[in-house]
């Protein structure tokens, strides 16, 4: 019996609505598997918690999470309650960094039954490997002068180690896929960090002679995700560029409500964290129409992470069958509720 | 008689093929207008010039350009001859900065007769005002240590003055359009420069009480250009974010080959520069199939800049009529040559 301890953080808004549904799916998956079980422990850390306690999580929050095999998170942030930079840096980014979740993995795939805004999505299927610990997201910087003379300086910091490990991850991933890695750069305009990024990419490529490579500036690359998404397999990108590319990836999939992601700890010292790409969507809270697919697909990534790839693939097939059958939430043009979609996925899973 | 002196820099690759065509259009426009004339002076500065002279332009290049009323540029760069950061910083970015072309204006518009990759472009019509002098494109930064310990640091520098003038420009532009400005930010992840950007946006908005505002993070905004481009009027963005958004804008238009841009000097001390969004496309050089529309639309922006808005609008209508009639280069699915498309635009212009 493989037993996994999962820390569950529903977070804010629809996070609370979709996480419980994905947990139902995971429980079904474990039952079907036989040799697998999950223990879920819920942590109520979110913007309401902040309003009550003045912090996004208790002082020993990270220690509480640490012993788990994974963190399963819904969505963090609700700008009507707490400014984003406080809620996000206090919880989401804090966990990513403290637990050395140094790469963020986000697949984007054309799913049958989901209408892409593109005429001809040509069955695109790529994964963005995003550097998740440094780069443009840095607390280094500050301001000088006041009033009309004020200046803000922001430092982006790229280390060889941080850059290299993201690239190694991308190349290894490509070995199990279509053997192609594209690097998102901007070395024609950003003249210190990006030429460094290019150098490390070149260096890494030497160690993976069977992988074809391509280097595309972020402006053109964002455009190519619209005009030729089928030409990409694995894309490796800095923290900011990965953030942008994965939202465009979610957009061409047809809804940000279905896109999953994984924050991976590579050194085994801390748990990894699984969270969908979408936010807390305060505008649709309480209506029962939040799309649970992003969270359920995120659960599939967690299964893969635990080495349960077969079960993970079954889950993805179940998702695809349900969407193809037309059982969809309103963001996808359907009429089903959060619960109905989840029930349909569970039924599919039982069939496989 | 209004007489304008234009410095023409065809640059590299297809730049040389489309600039001469757009000059033909401008000459026709002047003839039709009657009270308008252009003097064109060509400057052969490009990567070949670099290979011969070791510089992208002569030492007194900027002084040669300075007395002109505008610079009309094709495309710069050919990585097979000269590394991009040398060719671009030596010519394009050098001119942008030395001539204090502090905002870059790029319209994106659904054009009848051009197939957008989007199912339903809903007649989108927006303009990106890009801060063009500072921000993430900065020469400030460097490296420390070597080998496995190497670190690259890149400073982004945002001044109140630089940020405010781009925003003022955007708000004024919105007054002549649909009274709506969207700010591209990322203050939830980038915690020094972007909160500053947000503050200046808020401050600016107070001076334009009749303009509606919206603030969207760059990841979501890039996705919205795919899923709901029709909701934007004027978008104001930093140098990097503007670069990305305008390429996505060109992608949803259907081809980067039709997108125009203007680099505007606001203090009247130096000429502004007009250049299409596309690059030098070395792969199609010499085939006579380069799309001249981007360069011709860029000419329209130059006419507007000279106060010749009526003529500019005629030119845009001519472009739209030609594309709608099916006379298009291969990048748009047509069979026409560069010259045929230009001739068709000239014929349309004569009709109006
Ligand atoms: C070539 C490059 C430096 C340039 C930029 O990023 O400004 C280009 O992409 C553009 O948008 O004009
Ligand atoms: C909320 C924000 C800080 C976060 C990020 O930029 O990392 C989000 O956009 C994401 O992609 O997970």
Q: Is the pLDDT of residue B87 over 90?
A: yes
pLDDT per position as a tens digit, B101-124: 999 999 999 998 999 999 999 999
What mean pLDDT comes out for the span A181-186?
A: 98
Q: CA–CA separation, B264 vs A95, rounded Å?
A: 44
- A266 to chain B, any CB pair closer than 8 A? The answer is no
CB contact under 8 A, B191 and A120: no
- Cα-flanking dihedrals φ and ψ of residue B157, to 5°? -125, 120
Residue ranges of A 115-144 with Cβ closer than 8 A to chain B: 115-120, 136-137, 139-143
Q: Which of A153, A189, A256 minimises the CB distance to B157?
A: A153
Q: CA–CA separation, A343 vs B198, rounded Å?
A: 43
- Do B127 and B105 meet the contact criterion of CB atoms below 8 Å apart? yes
Q: Which of B119, B218, B250 minimises the CB distance to A244?
A: B218
Q: pLDDT at position B298, please? A: 98
What mean pLDDT comes out for the span A24-32?
A: 96
Closest Cα to atom 9 of ligand 2 = A243
Residue ranges of B 138-177 with Cβ closer than 8 A to chain A: 139-143, 147-161
Q: pLDDT at position A1, please? A: 87
- A252 to chain B, any CB pair closer than 8 A? The answer is yes
Q: What is the mean pLDDT of chain B?
A: 97
CA of B243 to the centre of ligand 1 (A): 6
Ranges of each domain in chain A: 1-105+261-352, 116-253
Q: CA–CA separation, B296 vs B277, rounded Å?
A: 12
Q: pLDDT at position A352, please? A: 80
Percentage with pLDDT > 90 across chain B? 97
Q: Is the pLDDT of residue A97 over 90?
A: yes
Q: What is A203-241 written as a DSSP string?
A: HHHHT-TTSEEEEEEHHHHHHHHHH-GGG-SEEEE-HHH
What mean pLDDT comes out for the span B272-291?
A: 96
What mean pLDDT comes out for the span A218-243?
A: 98
CATH class of A116-253: alpha beta
A163, A238, A281, B236 from A71: Cα distances, Å: 24, 23, 21, 37
Residue in A104, A153, A246, A276 to test binding to B, most B beta-carbons within 10 Å: A153
Surface-to-core class of residue B283, CB atoms within 10 Å of its CB (0-12 exposed, 13-18 middle, 19+ buried): exposed
Surface-to-core class of residue A172, CB atoms within 10 Å of its CB (0-12 exposed, 13-18 middle, 19+ buried): middle
> Is the CB of A220 inside a 6 Å radius of any atom of ligand 1?
no
Same fold, B1-105+259-352 and B116-142+151-253: yes
SS3 state at B23: helix
The DSSP 8-state label assigned to residue A288 in this structure reads S
What mean pLDDT comes out for the span B276-286?
A: 95
Residue ranges of B 52-91 with Cβ closer than 8 A to chain A: 77, 84-85, 88-89
Q: Is the pLDDT of residue A22 over 90?
A: yes
Q: pLDDT at position B218, please? A: 98
- Do A173 and A164 meet the contact criterion of CB atoms below 8 Å apart? no
Q: Say yes or no: domain B116-142+151-253 is CATH 3.40.630.40.
A: no
- Do A236 and A181 meet the contact criterion of CB atoms below 8 Å apart? yes
pLDDT per position as a tens digit, A249-297: 999 999 999 999 999 999 999 999 999 999 999 999 999 999 999 999 9
Q: pLDDT at position B85, please? A: 84
CA of A74 to the centre of ligand 2 (A): 13
* Strand pairing category for A234-237 and B262-265: unpaired
Instruction: Please name the CATH architecture into which domain B1-105+259-352 falls.
Output: 3-Layer(aba) Sandwich (3.40)
pLDDT band at A41 (very low <50, low <70, confident <90, very high): very high
Q: pLDDT at position A220, please? A: 96
Query: From A86, which residue of chain B is nearest by alpha-carbon distance?
Result: B188
CA–chain centroid gap for A298, Å, is 8
- Minimal CA separation from A319 to chain B, in Å: 22
Neighbouring residues of A183: CB distance < 8 A, sequence distance ≥ 6: A167, A197, A198, A201, A213, A214, A215, A216, A235, A236, A237
Q: pLDDT at position B341, please? A: 98
Neighbouring residues of A234: CB distance < 8 A, sequence distance ≥ 6: A126, A127, A128, A129, A170, A171, A173, A174, A177, A180, A181, A182
pLDDT band at B331 (very low <50, low <70, confident <90, very high): very high
CB contact under 8 A, A85 and B158: no
Q: pLDDT at position B133, please? A: 95
- Helix (H), strand (E) at residue B163: helix B160-175
pLDDT per position as a tens digit, B146-201: 999 999 999 999 999 999 999 999 999 999 999 999 999 999 999 999 999 999 99
Q: pLDDT at position B49, please? A: 98
Q: pLDDT at position B82, please? A: 94
What mean pLDDT comes out for the span B301-305?
A: 98
A22, A247, A295, A297, B78 from A11: Cα distances, Å: 14, 20, 13, 18, 49
Percentage with pLDDT > 90 across chain A? 97
What mean pLDDT comes out for the span B261-288?
A: 96
What are the chain B neighbours of A168 within 8 Å (beta carbons)? none
pLDDT band at A85 (very low <50, low <70, confident <90, very high): confident
- Minimal CA separation from A279 to chain B, in Å: 10
CA of A243 to the centre of ligand 2 (A): 6
Surface-to-core class of residue B93, CB atoms within 10 Å of its CB (0-12 exposed, 13-18 middle, 19+ buried): buried
CATH topology classification for A1-105+261-352: Isopropylmalate Dehydrogenase (3.40.718)
Q: What is the 3-state secondary structure (H, E, C) of B36-86?
A: EEEEEEECCCCHHHHHHHCCCCCCCHHHHHCCCCEEEEEECCECCCECHHH
- Do A256 and A278 meet the contact criterion of CB atoms below 8 Å apart? yes
SS3 state at A4: strand
pLDDT band at B1 (very low <50, low <70, confident <90, very high): confident
């Amino acid at each position: 019996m493989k037993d996994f301890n999962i820390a569950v953080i529903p977070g804010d808004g629809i996070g609370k609505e979709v996480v419980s549904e994905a947990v139902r799916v995971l429980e079904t998956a474990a039952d079907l598997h036989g040799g697998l079980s999950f223990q879920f422990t819920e942590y109520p850390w979110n913007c309401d918690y902040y309003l009550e306690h003045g912090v996004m999580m208790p002082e020993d929050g990270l220690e509480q999470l640490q012993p788990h095999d994974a963190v399963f998170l819904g969505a963090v942030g609700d700008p009507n309650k707490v400014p984003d930079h406080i809620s996000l840096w206090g919880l989401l980014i804090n966990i990513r960094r403290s637990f050395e979740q140094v790469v963020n993995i986000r697949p984007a795939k054309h799913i049958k039954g989901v209408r892409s805004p593109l005429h001809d999505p040509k069955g695109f299927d790529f994964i963005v490997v995003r550097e998740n610990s440094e780069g443009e997201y840095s607390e280094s910087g500050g301001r000088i002068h006041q009033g009309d003379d004020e200046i803000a300086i922001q430092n982006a910091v790229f280390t060889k180690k941080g850059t290299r490990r993201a690239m190694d991850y991308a190349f290894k991933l490509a070995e199990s896929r279509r053997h192609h890695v594209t690097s998102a750069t901007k070395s024609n305009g950003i003249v210190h960090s990006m030429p460094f990024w290019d150098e490390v990419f070149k260096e890494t490529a030497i160690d993976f002679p069977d992988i074809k490579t391509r280097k595309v500036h972020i402006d053109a690359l964002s455009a190519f995700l619209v005009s030729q998404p089928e030409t990409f397999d694995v894309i490796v990108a800095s923290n900011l560029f990965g953030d942008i590319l994965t939202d465009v990836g979610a957009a061409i999939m047809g809804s940000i409500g279905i896109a999953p992601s994984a924050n991976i700890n590579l050194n085994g010292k801390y748990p990894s964290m699984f969270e969908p790409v979408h936010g807390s969507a305060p505008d649709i809270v309480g209506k029962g129409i939040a799309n649970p697919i992003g969270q359920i697909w995120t659960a599939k990534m967690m299964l893969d992470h635990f080495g349960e790839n077969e079960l993970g693939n079954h889950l993805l097939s179940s998702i695809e069958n349900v969407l193809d059958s037309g059982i969809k939430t309103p963001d996808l043009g359907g009429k089903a509720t959060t619960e109905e979609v989840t029930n349909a996925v569970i039924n599919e899973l039982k069939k496989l």
